[in-house]
Structure 1
Amino acid sequence: MAVIHRTSVEPSKLELLGSWLPARPWYRGAGEPQLVTSGGFRLDDPEGAVGMEFIVVTDTSGAEATAYLVPLTYRGAPLDGAEHALVGTMEHGVLGRRWAYDGCHDPVLVAQLLALVEGRVQAQDQNISDAPDREVTSSYTGEGPAAPVPPLPATPATDDQEGTTLPLPHGALLHLCRVLQPAGNGNPLPPQGAAGHIAGSWQGLDGARARGLFATLRTGTPNPG
């Protein structure tokens, strides 16, 4: 169970993301982001060593506000072979130096994200220890695991203008939606043809709650649904 510490973090997560986001292929802005936190959730590491947080940030710098989903892992030491995925380092008031990574390149987060799709774990509240986040829901229509469960091999995640694709063993693909779109208007929940999905909610700038797709799972064989 992840313990949420009420303490200082320097630099802040928004400061780290403000420097990192503009270089992402899926970033829609044209300049320096102006970010606000709009929601998110956490997952627990079964070994208790890696912090995992899915942050929804809204960029207000453009003509239209854009909400992004950013999974981060927090580690007490560098992750071997993941230098390209380092978002930055921060000083945590309780835990000391932490290395923050794009979680799509961290095998611990990939394994737990797959477990969330399949309903084997529960999303946790972003700000309260030992409290499930009931707004995060998932579905899975497959029989048995979609891919071998931990340990997973190193995942060669790839980014494009729409999001991040995480290849899994046996031809399965886990796709993370980086640019969030409210459900409806051509964005169905659950998505057509997917073997599994994760959906969640975030806060709009007008104060209303939006809900949409966070991730989809497509298996190596056609899914009749």
Structure 2
Amino acid sequence: MALLHRAEVHPSKIELLAAWLPGRSWFSGEAGADLVRVAAYRFDDPAGEVGIETMLVRAGAGPVHQVPLTYRAAPVDGAETWLVGTCEHSVLGRRWVYDACGDPVYAAALAEAVLAGAGQAQAYFEVDGRREYRAPSMALTTEGAQPAAVPGIAALDRVEDGDPTRIVAGPLDLAVVRRLGAPVDLPGSRLTGSWEGQPTPLPLAYASVR
């Protein structure tokens, strides 16, 4: 479950990404076009400490980009390379927003989703003591998932920031597709997604155990 808050966030997630994305080697967007949100999905952090959200965004007629983000209540030592920026949340206070590909909490959640078919988190609001669920904006499916124990991740061995972005953690090899719709076929189990305007599922991520 992912608890959401009816809150104001400054700068907004889109504003943070609009400033950060053009500096990525894998970004491709229409010059001068505003960045817009296409869809999103979330994973659960079992410890309940880290927000995990993957946003799909596009600039004009450019491709749809997949940007996993983690939201933290404090900065992470040694993770400056992956910092997208900070924002002020009217309920939670200051939040540090990271490119989740450099965050072991995200890697663990992604591995569970791809290898064990854990799926996306159900998002909800608390309203007068009851839960009000929000319909997902994406449908996720897994291919080749094995409902079995997935190796735990305490730290990342290395991250290769490209398209796809490769994450290596112990015996796990993960790959996150950045520009969706381009031809890609990697080994291992696969996570795919579809959304309004994109009824055919597209590859989002791959995972395998060495």
TM-score over 0.5 for the alignment? yes
Q: Given the superposition, is the C-alpha separation of residues 158 and 25 from structure 1 closer, same or farther in structure 2, using an over 3 Å criterion?
A: same
Q: Which residue of 2 aligns with 1:164?
A: 165
Q: Which residue of 2 aligns with 1:152?
A: 154
| Contact kept in structure 2, 1:203 and 1:209, CA below 8 Å | yes
Q: 2: distance between equivalents of 1:120 and 1:181?
A: 22
**Other structure's SS at 1:7 match:** coil
Q: Deviations over 1:65-109 (max 9, x none)?
A: 310000000000001110110000000010000000000001101
**Other structure's SS at 2:4 match:** coil
Point out the more displaced range, 94-103 or 119-128.
Answer: 119-128
Could you list the runs of 5+ residues in structure 1 that have no partner in the other structure? 221-225
**Other structure's SS at 2:105 match:** helix
Q: 2: distance between equivalents of 1:214 and 1:16?
A: 22
**Other structure's SS at 1:157 match:** strand
**Aligned-pair distance for 1:30?**
6.8
Q: Which residue of 2 aligns with 1:135?
A: 139
Q: 2: distance between equivalents of 1:31 and 1:51?
A: 31
Q: Given the superposition, is the C-alpha separation of residues 33 and 46 from structure 1 closer, same or farther in structure 2, using an over 3 Å criterion?
A: farther
Q: Which residue of 2 aligns with 1:223?
A: none
| Contact kept in structure 2, 1:200 and 1:214, CA below 8 Å | yes
| Contact kept in structure 2, 1:18 and 1:33, CA below 8 Å | no
Q: Given the superposition, is the C-alpha separation of residues 117 and 131 from structure 1 closer, same or farther in structure 2, using an over 3 Å criterion?
A: farther
Q: Deviations over 1:83-136 (max 9, x none)?
A: 110000000010000000000001101001001112252302567676685711
Percent of residue pairs bearing the same amino acid type: 36
Choose which of 50, 55, 64 in structure 2 pairs with 1:67: 64
Could you list the runs of 5+ residues in structure 2 that have no partner in the other structure? 126-131
TM-score by length of 2: 0.85
More strand by share: 2
**Aligned-pair distance for 1:194?**
2.4
Choose which of 185, 191, 195 in structure 2 pairs with 1:198: 191
TM-score by length of 1: 0.80
Question: What CA RMSD, in Å, does the superposition of the two structures yield over aligned residues?
Answer: 2.6
Q: 1: distance between equivalents of 2:113 and 2:145?
A: 13
Alignment: residue pair count = 203
Q: Deviations over 1:170-212 (max 9, x none)?
A: 3x42110000007xxx56xxx4x622010112344xxx54530
Residue 76 (structure 1) aligned with residue 73 (structure 2): yes
Q: 1: distance between equivalents of 2:157 and 2:195?
A: 27
**Aligned-pair distance for 1:145?**
4.9
